[in-house]
Amino acid sequence: MYLKAVLLFEFLKENNINLDKIAHLFVNHGPGNFSGIRISIATAKGLAITNKLDLYGFNSDHVINQNYAKIIDLFNKGVLIKNLIKPHY
């Protein structure tokens, strides 16, 4: 998990993403590989807690052809529930 966290922070740095300017964090809660889903959720929860971010879970089925626009649409419609993450393995 340490390596994945390092990669995440490198990604944020390389793309000039400042967590202070983010209010919402979205995490894919499956379906998927057990370990991958658990690591993703744990990392997202850690970031959300330490940076006071609102955390929202979404389902893999909401993403079509790597287009995440539907996630934002669901968020704007109030369909995604804050801090409710139900893993689907």
> What is the tens place of the pLDDT at every residue in 50-83?
999 999 999 988 888 888 999 999 999 999 988 8
The reported pLDDT for the residue numbered 29 is 87
Q: What is the dihedral of CA 50, 73, 9, 52, to 10 degrees?
A: -10
CA-closest candidate to residue 40, choices 53, 50, 29, 54: 29
User: Could you report the per-residue pLDDT of 2-19, keeping only the tens digit for each?
Assistant: 566 688 889 999 999 998
The reported pLDDT for the residue numbered 4 is 64
Spatial separation of the C-alpha atoms in residues 84 and 11, rounded to whole Å = 26
34 pLDDT above the threshold of 60? yes
Q: pTM higher than 0.75, yes or no? A: yes
